[in-house]
Amino acid sequence: MKKKLHTPEGVRDIYNVECGKKLALESRLKKVFHLYGYHDIQTPTIEYFDVFREEIGTTPANDLYKFFDREGNILALRPDITPSIARAVATLFETENFPIRLCYAGNTFINHSSYRGRLKENTQLGAELIGVDSIEADAEMLAMVVDGLKKTGLKEFQVSIGHVDFIQSLFEATNLEDEQKEEIRTLIANRNFFGVEEILDHYEIADQVKEAFHQLPELTGGPEILADAGRIAPGEAARLAVERLRQIYDLLKIYGVEDHVTFDLSMSGSYGYYTGIIFRAYTYGTGDAVVRGGRYDHLLEKFGKKTPSIGFAIILDELMSALDRQKIKVRKWLDIPELDQYEKFVNDWHYFLKDVAASLKKENASDGTIKQINIYVLKEFYMRGFGEEVSFYAQFEQRLKEVKAVLLK
């Protein structure tokens, strides 16, 4: 009798109803991305190992699936899709006008230790906004996360936001060696603040810095904690980080998503390439974040293109687990009615945003003008809403025509 072969540890088959639900969720989330003007991109599952090398700041090398091709090149299964997109943009989009909005769906592979009991293959859906460093870009990504999660049926979830510069300023103020800083970072990630205080007491560190670390557990919650964060900020970079978070929150109120937003100034990010705001989304029924994201203004430099960027990834397997445990039903199949009109809408919206960005760049518009135009677009297409008595596509086309007459004379 032949031996039956099962899947390796950490991967699994998905079929029948569960597979249908997964495809439906992908379709629903992709539709949200398209509504925000993002276009699809696919990158290879296999990349050169150098795309994920240590200096990139992604998954540690010993957690990668590595192998050789026939020519002796070291290859790797991608553990993270963002570096792949950074590589693609740096090499394929040299003549494109920025910003570029891209979205994707794909599987990632991380060779976790078996005792962790985590999946080694996960499906991620994400979006990347490349070529702009602004509070408007940060707010756009966060609003898209909230809209996407709401479209899946989730009602109770929170997007927790931090800033790399705030926590990094605290580390730098200690003047400790990198090894001690990394130990403290790990303790903070595990919410072991007693362990942090124990380490700090072993070294000569300014009382003001110790007090700032002591206050970290309290710097989690609503926008009111930003005032406390500003008071204990150890330097200019940390104060600017807190101010940026305040401004982002003001924009999120315009989007109408502030009820799902909290802050956590102890957050340091899961990837080393993060440089600005970082965020994670949590809900009931899963032990890990269902969304991870942040700003990575220097990642594309590693591939030869200097441009700021921000993005996020929804971990679909964690999201499905949460929906199942919260008993939220997902329709097995989702059809897009009037597909031709939908595809026209996606293209019209995408190229309208690109044309506006190109016009502002050509006119060398000031930051104030750019902010006014961003808020104008927000109000026209998100705040006004669309009626149900007339086709959405007809309303959108008419509104787009009116806005173009104002912005693209």
- The DSSP annotation for 264-291 comes to ETT---SSTT--SEEEEEEETT-SS-SE
Distance in angstroms (rounded) separating the CA atoms of residues 10 and 122: 10
Q: Compute how many other C-beta atoms are within 10 angstroms of the C-beta atom of residue 325.
A: 12
pLDDT of residue 80: 94
Burial call 59-84: b when 16+ CB within 10 Å, e when fewer: beeeebeeeeeeeeeebbbbbbbbbb
Classify domain 8-155+284-333 at the CATH superfamily level: Bira Bifunctional Protein; Domain 2 (3.30.930.10)
Residues of the chain with pLDDT under 70: 1, 114-117, 331-337, 339
Indicate the domain borders of the chain. Answer: 8-155+284-333, 157-265, 336-409
pLDDT of residue 332: 57
pLDDT of residue 339: 66
Distance in angstroms (rounded) separating the CA atoms of residues 101 and 351: 10
Residues in the chain: 409
Distance in angstroms (rounded) separating the CA atoms of residues 306 and 300: 6
Distance in angstroms (rounded) separating the CA atoms of residues 89 and 263: 31
Distance in angstroms (rounded) separating the CA atoms of residues 157 and 327: 15
